[in-house]
Structure 1
Amino acid sequence: MKRMLFYPVIFICSLLIMLQGCFDDEFTTNPANRLSFSTDSVKFDTIFTEKGTATMRFTVYNRSKKALKISSITLADAENSGFYINVDGRPGPDLSDVIVWEKDSIMIFVKANVNPTHKDLPQQIKDSIVFITNGVRQDVKLEAYGWDAIVMKGKELPAGNTTLNGNKPYLIYDSLVVTPEATLTLQPGAKLFFYDKAMLLVKGRLAAEGTAQNPVQFRGYRLDKLFSNLPYDYLAGQWGGIRFFKDSYENKMNQVRMRGSSYGIAIDSSDIDRTKLILSNSVIHNSATDLVQSNFSNIKAWNCQFSNAGGALIHQIGGRSEFIHCTLANYYNFDIISSAILSFEHLIDEGTSNVSANATFKNCIITGSYSLLSPTEITDSDISFLNCLFNVKGSDDQNFRECVWEADPKFINTGKDYIFDYHIGEGSDAIGKGNPQFLNADLRYDLEGHLRPQGTNPDLGAYQYIEKIE
């Protein structure tokens, strides 16, 4: 019986040895047979330290006629760099004997979680994935920039003044609340990055004072891209927006760049005899709904760009407003626009001082890919347009005086490759059409600090045309 079992065992062992030999013959050991890669480097956008990135991937190809056995795949500086790899479902940072069959490929997944750099500016982080195959060393470079941020979670500012400077970015979760007795002062270069749905809620006072070279920024926290040619920063709906509550007055936003919100700037009803908000030399861009909604309040704006919204650029419900040398352009292209560029409610005085809407636009450009006004009939209202440019047909009357109709401002870019540039170009119908009587000390310079010429008519809108010198 023992003898009968002995021969099958010998047969099976012999068969395994033969199969192993055949299996080994399937692998090439020729150093000339190398791996090929879909890229020679993986580069991440700037990321906040201690915040993980989205996962990126690349492909490793074996283009030879036999299988390749990769002796090792190693993340060179895994302990320090903060990069992580996964090879076809196998986690790194060190893997061995990875097989790539003939004319086949494997996927490498990469992500990063960068440690604090203790620096104000973004710091470059480097590493590489090293492949050893038949004694041949190949690598793919990894690169990211880590940026330390000051994190605020559900922060309520105490009474008195709180100042945020431009040294490091502020990453805001669950909203930042300026309490009724508090003032939030934002110095030049202050950068506020808001997490999904987070808002700036102003119950006290906001004093944002940037410069043309160092504006104050409000934007979403995503620094990466949705697609290779579409950064998240180009998209609306990345964060909540700014809301000014009923008892908040004397707010100022000068040299501010605000973009990518869901609700834009929302202003609660208040005493219209007190200034609620002054916007100057600022760009308010890209809201999923209304860009600015003012409810029975008193707001003023000059040298500002109001651009791109899924709703109205300005939605005014009663109250007062004045816009001088502003560019209002709506070529929003991420969804259907649901409202006219300018939308007004409570136009007619019903006997209450805070009901009738009063709005004045002077030396402004007002254009877009949707209708101009809602309602379309504003006769007998206190809505007036003086020396303004429109891209629609029309004629002057008691509400429209010395306006430029059916005109082309020749904006530099209105959405090609998701880029919007509302500077006026050569041959613009806005050049030299402004009324110099509307200029004052605040308006001698345009949004970017270019001098408006004296003794002649200024250009309409927020930007003076600057001729390019070849």
Structure 2
Amino acid sequence: MLKKYFLPVLVLFSAACSLILPGCKPREEELQTSGGLEFSADTVKFDTVFTTLRTVTKRLWVYNRNPKGVNVDLVTLDQPVASSYTLIINGDLKQTASNLFIRGEDSLLILVRAKLPDNGQNAPNKPFVQEEKLNFRTNGQDQHVLLRSFGQNIYLHDNVNLPCNAVWTNDRPHVLYGDVVVPQGCVLRIKPGARIYAHAGLDAQHAALGH
């Protein structure tokens, strides 16, 4: 007899929950008021970043391991306006975000890119380090992930006609983009030890090289 009435009672309870009790919701959508976040890495690292050029995109996953949802009050860089890093948070290009809800046992994706300024140093074998914190505040708890880049100042030759009898020194790497043209009848002199990097699609024309 108990089995006969079990299904109708279950259906009745579900209807009552949706119509009478609007607070009834899946557990992962309930709000967790304590606890923090976990991250796929404690540091997002970019190796050998040529200054003034954008890097590849790195992924950072932000996990809510709690059974209930959490509200991330704030996500921001240390210097959101003047940062060398660019963020895409949950699909939106922004340096700061607030009130991001992450369901229980769910995650949030942040994409990170870097573009470092030239710091004026000529040190081909000594990359400089540029760091910044990506900060999170959840339930009054502050956490951060470190963004770290190893920058290298360069001479950028981008779609350029080189001057006649140009000399490339060895105090910085030379990075070539697009069309790099040595005028006919001219010579490009490259100092010993100079490092040269060519981007895909380079078209070097009329190249007469000297030392």
TM-score above 0.5: yes
Distance 2:159 2:140 in 1: 55
Superposed displacement of residue 21, structure 1: 11
**Equivalences, count:** 189
Q: TM-score, normalised to structure 1's length?
A: 0.37
Percent identical pairs in the alignment equals 28
Indicate which of 135, 138, 155 corresponds to 1:133: 138
**Mean alpha-carbon deviation: is it higher for 55-64 or for 77-86?**
77-86
| Residue 50 of structure 1: aligned partner | 52
Counterparts of 2:74 and 2:207 in 1: how far apart (Å)? Answer: 59
Aligned to 1:179: 183
Matched, 1:89 2:91: yes
Q: Aligned letter for 1:38? A: S
Query: Are 2:170 and 1:169 aligned?
Result: no
AA partner of residue 107 (structure 1): L
Alpha-carbon deviation of 1:40? 0.7
CA distance in 1, matches of 2:81, 2:151: 16
Q: CA deviation at 1:177?
A: 3.0
Aligned to 1:26: 30
Q: Aligned ranges for residues 232-271 of structure 1 at < 5 Å?
A: none
Q: Which amino acid letter does the alignment assign opposite residue 28 of structure 1?
A: Q
One of 77, 80, 83 as aligned partner of 2:79: 77
Distance 1:63 1:172, change over 3 A: same
Partner of 2:156: 151
The answer on whether the counterparts of 1:75 and 1:92 sit within 8 Å (CA) in structure 2 is no
Residue in 1 that maps onto 2:199: 195
Select the structure of larger CA radius of gyration. Answer: 1
Measure, in 2, the Cα distance between the counterparts of 1:20 and 1:120.
Answer: 64
Give, in whole Å, the separation in 1 of the partners of 2:178 and 2:45. 30
Work out the CA distance in 2 between the residues paired with 1:140 and 1:198.
Answer: 37
Measure, in 1, the Cα distance between the counterparts of 2:162 and 2:65: 61
Q: Secondary structure in 2 aligned to 1:50?
A: coil
**Larger RCO (CA within 8 A; separation ≥ 6):** 2
Cα distance change, pair 42–191 in 1 and its aligned pair in 2 (3 A): same
Structure 2 segments unaligned to the other structure (5+ residues)? 1-18
Using the alignment, how far apart are the partners of 2:118 and 2:150 within structure 1? 11
Quick one: which amino acid aligns to residue 207 of structure 1?
G
Q: Is the 8 A contact 2:157 2:174 kept in 1?
A: yes
- Tell me the distance in 1 between the aligned counterparts of 2:158 and 2:74: 43
Query: Could you tell me how far apart the structure 1 residues matched to 2:58 and 2:66 are?
Result: 26
**C-alpha deviation, 1:200, in angstroms:** 3.5
Q: Residues of 1 paired with 2:57 and 2:155: CA distance?
A: 24
- Distance between the aligned counterparts of 2:205 and 2:136, measured in 1? 52
Quick check: 1:157–1:182 contact (8 Å CA) kept in 2? no
Q: CA deviation at 1:20?
A: 10
Deviation at 1:202, TM superposition (A): 4.2
The CA deviation at 1:55 is 1.2
CA change 1:184–1:92 in 2 (3 A) is: same
Corresponding residue number in structure 2 for 1:207: 210
Equivalent position amino acid for 2:144 in 1: D
Letter in 1 for 2:116: V
SS at match of 1:79: coil
SS in 2 for 1:78: coil
> Residues of 1 paired with 2:153 and 2:85: CA distance?
17
Q: 1:197 and 1:91 mapped to 2: Cα distance?
A: 28
For 1:119, the equivalent position in structure 2 comes to 121
Q: Indicate conservation of the 8 Å contact 2:36/2:64, yes or no.
A: yes
Q: How big is the shift at 1:201?
A: 3.5
2: distance between equivalents of 1:173 and 1:20? 59
Return the offset for 1:186.
Answer: 1.0
In structure 2, how many angstroms separate the alpha carbons of the residues matched to 1:127 and 1:200?
A: 38
Answer yes or no: is the 8 Å Cα contact 2:51–2:154 preserved in 1. yes
